[in-house]
Structure formats: C-alpha cells, structure tokens
C-alpha cells in the first residue's frame, strides 16, 4: 500500500513537470524588432532642389520607410520653434505638387506639414518625427540644456499644435555636438543630452518616438554619456559619414582624396578610427545597446578637383564644384556624371577627368546593411532623401539589405 502511494506521487510529480516543461516549450520567444528604415526630409529642399513631399510617394520612398524625419526645426531661446513658416505650413501647394492631387484651399493646413498629413493618410504605417537642430542650428541647445524640462514642454506644445494635430509621432534631437565642438563649442556637461532626452520622454510619454543623432568622431563620443542618453531614446542615429572631405578648416582635407564614408579601415587612412566600424564599436563599447544604434548612410558624395591619381590618397587642389555646395553633390547626379571606378573599404569612389568623388551605391549599401545585421543593429537612417534617384535606388538597397 505504501509503495503504491509513493508510486502515485511520483507519477503525479512527473506529470506536473511534464506539463511545466511543455508550457515552457510552447511559450514563443519574443520576436526581434523589425529593422528601422529611417530617412531625413529637408524642408528647404522644396526650393532650389524642388524635392516635394509628393516625391516620397511617387518614387516609392514612403512605402519603404518606417520613419520619416522632417528637418529642421529651430532651437531658439531654449525652446523648440519653427524654422521656416512659409515652407513648413504656409506655402499653398498646387494640385500637381500635392500628395493626393488636390490643391490647398482656404484655411487648410498648407506647406510641407500639410503634405506630411496627406502622406501619412496614404501610408498609415509611416511614423513622422520633427527633427530639431542640425549642423547650423545646434547652438541653441546649450541654452535649452540649462532647463531641459522647459525645453521639452515647448517642444511638446509645438508638435501638438492644433493646426497639425496627429502629424508628428515624436521628436528627433540633432545636437552637433553636446559637450563638444561642432560649428560652435558646447560645455553643457556629459549628462546634458541624457537629461534633455529624459525630459522629452517625460513630456511626450512612453508611446512617442524619441531619437537623437550622434557623432561619428570617436573622440566626441567620449565627451557625452551616450549610454545614459540611449536609456530614454528609441534609438541613436550614428552619423557614419563625412569622415573626410575637401575644404573646411583642415588644409589637409583639401590636398588628399579619401572616401568620406568608409565601412572599415584601409591602407593609407589618415585616422584609424575614421570609419563606420570604429564608430559602431565605440558606441557598443560605451554600453549603448546594439538595437538602439542606427547606421548612417549619406545619399551624396564628397569630391576633389585637380586630381591625377585614380586611387584614394592622391593629391588634389581643392573641392570639386557642386550645385549647392563646393565638394558635395547628390548621388543621382554623380552616378550619371562620374560613375564609380573602384571600391575601397566598403564604399565606392569615382575618378573622372581631374575630379575624384566618393559615395555609396546600391552595392556598397547592401554591404553596409549586411554589416548592420551582423552587429544586430536597430536599422539604418539616411541623410537625406532628395539625393536619391527618382525611383529610390539607394533607399531600396537600404530596405532590402536590412530585411
């Protein structure tokens, strides 16, 4: 009798363990988050470039993006403010330039923001963020950092303005650079960005998308606590481009050709850490989760003139001519005018006549996206969408390469 009782207990325990094990086995593992495909749309592009919000839909970009960042708002007096009222929400859009083919009328929301509303209606899965700052617009962050709560409140008030309710799903901070030097130098302290993003998260709530662009220069990455900053952000966008270029304050940059967005180091590189892999490794080494790092891709090239050598490292006399800026040109122009003649460190270069350009192509982008996947990064972002071909060849390579 006693032996039978013990046997029954053992059977019951075995059944319980089996049920527990089965339950554990049946619990699905959490699915990895879908990679982010993020693109900046420059508000000023509607002028000389004639790149309209409609072009995002017509060229297929809107269907490939997960997030669109509208650049830039201003930071003035420690607050988020509008940068260009005319382009942002006052300019009437005619039927030919409108996302839905209908011209603006009456008191309807106009300009780029009005078109963004129409774009979201046509692509309901697309999330739109308003980006503030940028290279020429970052000086105001120093004052904003003195009272991050007041800054965050002003940003929330602006993004939720009744005139464009529902257009913006969050905010992007493009501070170049916190506690370091960009166009101007900042000394707000290593925790300034983290405090600012924390205040934005408190003001906007858990469902808003809060992001920040971060430098590629490893020396600047150590000036700010990016691990803490990542705690309140959905992701950090690593600006892994412009490692070199013709012109600027460094005379050496105008004398030697070099790829501006190398994936890895290469023989003759001026600085061993001036490449994408070094930037990513530094961010991960600082404790930023890989899933919160986005790889940056430039949709443009950097170029030199007075060049006689086809390989990188050749002598140059200065920056090549560009339509809007010396030493810079869009991919869609370069691929026709100066097609690639070689690849170095995972990016393309082109030698044509006396000019030498470096830029990414669909092929080199696929290589970079494979690298992003190998590092389990959160995705990629692009600066900026007007540089792509009308049929979105580069963005397609980004989206397909991440999938």
Q: Please choose, from the candidates 172, 179, 221, the residue with its C-alpha nearest in 3D space to the C-alpha of residue 384.
A: 172
Mean pLDDT of the chain, nearest integer: 92
pLDDT of residue 23: 47
Work out the average pLDDT over 299-313.
97
pLDDT of residue 2: 46
CATH code, 224: 3.20.20.80
Work out the average pLDDT over 297-308.
97
- Is 143 domain-assigned? yes
Q: Helix count (H) and strand count (E) of the chain? A: 14, 15
pLDDT of residue 68: 99
- Is 24 domain-assigned? no
- Is 329 domain-assigned? no
- Is 325 domain-assigned? no
Q: Report whether pLDDT(145) > 90.
A: yes
- Is 102 domain-assigned? yes
Domain that holds residue 206: 34-299+361-402
Work out the average pLDDT over 306-323.
96
Q: How confident is the model at residue 32 (pLDDT cuts 50, 70, 90)?
A: confident
pLDDT, tens only, 110-124: 999 999 999 999 999
Asked whether the bond before 132 is cis by omega within 30 degrees of 0, the reply is: no
As for how many domains the chain has, the answer is 1
- How many CB atoms are closer than 10 A to CB 285? 11
- Is 79 domain-assigned? yes
Q: How confident is the model at residue 29 (pLDDT cuts 50, 70, 90)?
A: low
Q: How confident is the model at residue 9 (pLDDT cuts 50, 70, 90)?
A: very low
pLDDT, tens only, 320-368: 999 999 999 999 999 999 999 999 999 999 999 999 999 999 999 999 9
Q: What is the pTM of this model?
A: 0.91
- Is 331 domain-assigned? no
Give the catalytic positions in this structure.
Answer: 176
Spatial separation of the C-alpha atoms in residues 8 and 3, rounded to whole Å: 9
Work out the average pLDDT over 245-266.
78
Spatial separation of the C-alpha atoms in residues 207 and 339, rounded to whole Å: 44
Q: Report whether pLDDT(1) > 90.
A: no
Work out the average pLDDT over 214-219.
97
pLDDT, tens only, 73-90: 999 999 999 999 999 999
- Is 13 domain-assigned? no
Q: How confident is the model at residue 14 (pLDDT cuts 50, 70, 90)?
A: very low
Write the Ramachandran bin of 78: left for phi over 0, alpha for psi from -120 to 50, otherwise beta: left
Spatial separation of the C-alpha atoms in residues 177 and 274, rounded to whole Å: 17
């Amino acid at each position: 009798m006693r032996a039978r009782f013990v046997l029954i207990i053992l059977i019951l325990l075995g059944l319980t363990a089996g049920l527990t094990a089965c339950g554990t086995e049946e619990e699905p593992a959490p699915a990895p988050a879908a990679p982010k495909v993020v693109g900046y749309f420059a508000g000023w592009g509607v002028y000389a470039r004639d790149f309209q919000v409609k072009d995002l839909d017509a060229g297929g970009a809107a269907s490939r993006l997960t997030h669109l960042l509208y650049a830039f708002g201003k930071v003035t007096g420690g607050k988020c403010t509008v940068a260009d009222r005319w382009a942002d929400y006052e300019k009437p859009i005619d039927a030919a330039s409108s996302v839905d083919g209908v011209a603006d009328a009456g008191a309807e929301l106009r300009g780029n923001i009005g078109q963004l509303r129409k774009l979201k209606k046509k692509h309901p899965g697309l999330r739109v963020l308003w980006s503030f700052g940028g290279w020429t617009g970052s000086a105001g962050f120093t004052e904003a950092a003195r009272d991050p709560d007041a800054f965050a409140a002003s940003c929330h008030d602006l993004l939720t303005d009744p005139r464009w309710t529902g257009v913006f799903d969050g905010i992007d901070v493009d501070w170049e650079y916190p506690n370091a030097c960009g166009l101007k130098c900042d000394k707000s302290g290593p925790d300034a960005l983290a405090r600012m993003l924390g205040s934005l998260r408190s003001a906007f709530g858990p469902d808003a998308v809060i992001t920040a662009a971060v430098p590629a220069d490893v020396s600047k990455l150590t000036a700010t606590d990016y691990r803490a900053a990542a705690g309140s952000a959905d992701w950090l966008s690593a600006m892994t481009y412009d490692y070199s270029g013709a012109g600027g304050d460094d005379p050496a940059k105008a004398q030697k050709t070099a790829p501006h967005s190398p994936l890895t180091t290469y023989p003759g590189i001026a600085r061993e850490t001036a490449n994408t892999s070094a930037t990513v490794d530094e961010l991960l080494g600082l404790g930023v989760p890989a899933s919160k790092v986005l790889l940056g891709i430039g949709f443009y090239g950097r170029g030199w003139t007075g060049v006689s050598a086809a390989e990188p490292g050749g002598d140059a006399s200065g920056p090549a001519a560009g339509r809007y800026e010396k030493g810079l040109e869009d991919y869609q122009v370069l691929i026709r005018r100066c097609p690639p003649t070689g690849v170095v460190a995972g990016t393309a270069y082109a030698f044509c006549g006396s000019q030498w350009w470096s830029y990414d192509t669909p092929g080199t982008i696929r290589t970079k996206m494979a690298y992003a996947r190998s590092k389990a990064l959160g995705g990629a972002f692009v600066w900026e969408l007007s540089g792509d071909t009308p049929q979105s060849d580069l963005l397609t390579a980004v989206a397909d390469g991440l999938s």
